[in-house]
Amino acid sequence: MEQRTALVTGGSRGIGRAVALRLAEDGYDVAFCYRAGGDAAAETADGIKQRGVRCFHAACDVADPDAVSEFVAAAEAELGPVRTLVNSAGIIRDSPLVLMPFDDWQAVLGTNLTGTFNFCRSVAFGFMKRKLGTVVNVSSVAGVYGNAAQANYSASKGGINSLSRAMAKELGPYGIRVNVVAPGFIETDMTAGLTEKARAKATGMIPLRRLGQPADVADLVSFLASDRAAYITGQVLQVDGGIVL
Ligand code: NDP
């Protein structure tokens, strides 16, 4: 690869970390950001470097457009132009609609949807100038089908799906591909709070009878980012063990 920098948001933990490590295995230098980071971020960075590629990482609130512009500039100064962007940073603030605090609506839309927009906008002009670049946004099956008590989350992920399709149309003529992976239940900190009962219920609804692993998602991201997916754009691909069948 001539330009081989990947940028992953939310790379300190969970799916973002698995993606960062998978792309490092693919030969990318990897920049990643997080909100707090800490030991988890250091662990991801070690894993990236162990795979023989370069790494840049820093805290960056994806919801803050100025912070995002600064992060992208710093990452590109260190590792060179971004070729692949993966937006994985995300949060949940679940509650029934009638009880949902406005702040929880705003926080989830701000991080999940506006955060994705901020990073896409920050790299898009460079992608267009170079006529090179791929984007993979991490959505959710909740963004396709909706989830009770997740109005904010479902709306944010549905927004990501539509944003990505619009981008695929707008940027396709420049050779830029934009796709979405929509996971079902994946074993990360985000699902660690599930009660045993909820976990058993979820597993019972999944034809493959297990929750997914972050690596299950990372493998699809790796494929979509690569030239093996050269004719795939504007798609929302579910990695969900068949839960919505
Ligand atoms: P985790 O909670 O394990 O990790 C979330 C990551 O996002 C962390 O790296 C966190 O940083 C980062 N992050 C959160 N808020 C911000 C912010 N404002 N700015 C920068 N970074 C931020 O989540 P998962 O790995 O489970 O989820 C990753 C993505 O996959 C999310 O978009 C989620 O919605 C989606 N998803 C997950 C599913 C699941 O079952 N796990 C199912 C469907 C979709 P820090 O470590 O500093 O907090």
Task: Note the pLDDT of residue 1.
Answer: 57
pLDDT higher than threshold 90 for residue 162: yes
Q: What mean pLDDT comes out for the span 87-107?
A: 98
What is the β-pairing status of strands 29-34 and 134-138?
unpaired
**Domain boundaries, given as residue ranges, for the chain:** 5-238
Q: What mean pLDDT comes out for the span 211-232?
A: 98
Banded pLDDT at 148 (limits 50, 70, 90): very high
> Which residues on adjacent β-strands are paired with residue 5?
29, 82
The annotation status of 158 as a binding-site residue, yes or no, is no
Question: How many angstroms from the chain centroid is the CA of residue 57?
Answer: 16
The reply to whether ligand 1 has any atom less than 6 angstroms from the CB of 88 is: yes
Residue 134: CB atoms within 10 A of its CB come to 26
Ligand 1 atom closest to residue 59's alpha carbon, by position in its atom list: 20
Residue with tokens 């609804």: 205
Residue with tokens 């079902």: 184
Average pLDDT, the chain: 97
Active site residues: 153
Residue 147: CB atoms within 10 A of its CB come to 15
CA–CA separation, 210 and 45 (whole Å): 29
What is the β-pairing status of strands 236-239 and 177-183?
parallel
Task: Note the pLDDT of residue 234.
Answer: 98
Q: Which of 1-5, 104-108, 120-124 has the lowest mean pLDDT?
A: 1-5
Q: What mean pLDDT comes out for the span 163-172?
A: 98
CA–CA separation, 70 and 65 (whole Å): 9
Residues in the chain: 245
CA–CA separation, 185 and 179 (whole Å): 20
d(CA 137, ligand 1 centre) in Å:
12
CA distances to 44, 46, 77, 157, 212 from 113, rounded to whole Å, are 24, 29, 26, 7, 23
Task: Express each pLDDT in 15-41 by its tens digit.
Answer: 999 999 999 999 999 999 999 999 999
CA–CA separation, 177 and 223 (whole Å): 12
CA–CA separation, 172 and 234 (whole Å): 9
CB 5 within 8 A of CB 83: yes
d(CA 11, ligand 1 centre) in Å:
8
- Tell me what percent of the chain is helix, strand and coil, each rounded to the nearest 5: 50, 15, 30
Name the amino acid, one letter, at 86. Answer: V
CATH second-level architecture of 5-238?
3-Layer(aba) Sandwich (3.40)
| Predicted structure pTM score | 0.99
Task: Note the pLDDT of residue 3.
Answer: 74
Banded pLDDT at 2 (limits 50, 70, 90): low
CB 79 within 8 A of CB 31: yes
d(CA 89, ligand 1 centre) in Å:
4
The reply to whether ligand 1 has any atom less than 6 angstroms from the CB of 138 is: yes
pLDDT higher than threshold 80 for residue 9: yes
Task: Express each pLDDT in 43-85 by its tens digit.
Answer: 999 999 999 999 999 999 999 999 999 999 999 999 999 999 9
User: What token pair was written down for 207?
Assistant: 């034809």
